Amino acid sequence: MNAPTNEREALTHLELVLRQVRMEAAGINSYEFVDPEGNELPAFTPGAHIDVHIAPGVIRQYSLCNSPEERHRYVVAVLRDESGRGGSRGMHETLRVPNRVRVSVPRNNFRLSDDASKIILLAGGIGVTPLKSMVHQLEAESKNYELHYCAKGPEFAAFQSELEGMAKTGKVHCHFDGGDPAKGLNIAQLLQTPQVGTHVYYCGPGGFMEACKQATAHWPADAVHCEHFKAPIQKVPAESSGTDEGYIVELAASGRKLTVLPDQNLAEVLQQAGAPVETSCASGLCGTCKVRHLSGQIDHQDFILDENERQSFMTPCVSRGCGGTLVLDL
């Protein structure tokens, strides 16, 4: 039996029931999880994701795409990726109604700004999922926003009619390119002139992310927000980032020192030593392993922390010390 809602708020994981699977577009299913006894679920904010335990050792992060006002369900949408690591295939092939599924409580690395005067949302394909939860919130608060939803064609655009129905005021724009990005939205033109108070949020596949990154390069860094659902392939591996000598990591609480060899992963070294470091994506994408650092130089290799956060935090699943001693708040 699940604990009452107020007790479960402190938990890190939940056992939920898969109540519904719906086909939303070509290759895209949505999955609705509810409490087995109908209790309220921990609240989430727009842009949040959950870890879904698909099979033993197969844990994936999926953005919540329903309204944050809903407390009775979590909804995620998954594009089946034949060339992926198997998580999306597992979701499509093995999860069935009414399976019990272990999920994490929601975490958010992709938060909406409270003080933006306008929000521009840019979705590429399945990247619409975190942005859809933002649209729910922005609509509920009558905020100034626009969503540009880019896809190959309507048959590939999950939630298109729901989004258009929600934003009857012309705030949702769909751009279908037939598979040729040159025929789609001109992102550089759209974002040519930064507007004071306007924040940009984008999420989508690699090429789309790169186009958005280039188009926002001249915008103030704190007005641009993105979420990757895969590590960009051009990222330099941590092993080749100038840490040939290895380094020492010190656990501040005990003063214990551990040696991290050049080919060792910091999160694994910490876990083997019994330090309380959880991992999930192991790719610098989800923030599960985030830990505060107190001193030492760091080679940050994640895709979620901004420059401000990196002053205080690091993600040891992909990031590491740059020689010498790295002191962590553990």
Provide the binding-site residues for ligand FES, judged by CB under 6 A.
Answer: 279-282, 284-289, 302, 315, 317
Nearer to ligand FES, 128 or 318 (CB): 318
State the minimum distance, in angstroms, from the CB of residue 110 to ligand FES.
Answer: 13
Report the distance separating Cα 41 and Cα 59, nearest Å.
20
CA distances from 134 to 75, 137, 159, 201 (A): 14, 5, 14, 10
Nearer to ligand FES, 107 or 148 (CB): 107
Contacts of 145 (CB under 8 A, 6+ apart): 118, 119, 120, 121, 134, 135, 138, 171
DSSP states along 21-61:
EEEEETTEEEEEEE-TT-PPPPP--TT-EEEEEEETTEEEE
DSSP character at residue 107? B
Nearer to ligand FES, 49 or 136 (CB): 49
Nearer to ligand FES, 61 or 198 (CB): 61
| Nearest one of 316, 318, 298 to 307, comparing CA atoms | 298
Nearer to ligand FES, 5 or 264 (CB): 264
Nearer to ligand FES, 27 or 284 (CB): 284
State the minimum distance, in angstroms, from the CB of residue 314 to ligand FES.
Answer: 9
State the minimum distance, in angstroms, from the CB of residue 197 to ligand FES.
Answer: 30
| Nearest one of 98, 106, 126, 128 to 33, comparing CA atoms | 98
What is the pairing mode between strands 172-176 and 256-260? unpaired
State the minimum distance, in angstroms, from the CB of residue 259 to ligand FES.
Answer: 21
Tally the residues of the chain.
330
Beta bridge partners of 322: none
Q: How far apart are the first and last CA of the chain?
A: 33
Report the distance separating Cα 24 and Cα 311, nearest Å.
41
Q: What angle do CA 181, 130, 204 make, to 5 degrees?
A: 20
Nearer to ligand FES, 138 or 203 (CB): 203
State the minimum distance, in angstroms, from the CB of residue 273 to ligand FES.
Answer: 17
Strands (E), 93-243: 100-104, 118-124, 145-151, 172-176, 198-203, 224-226
State the minimum distance, in angstroms, from the CB of residue 271 to ligand FES.
Answer: 11
State the minimum distance, in angstroms, from the CB of residue 316 to ligand FES.
Answer: 7
State the minimum distance, in angstroms, from the CB of residue 266 to ligand FES.
Answer: 10
Nearer to ligand FES, 104 or 137 (CB): 104
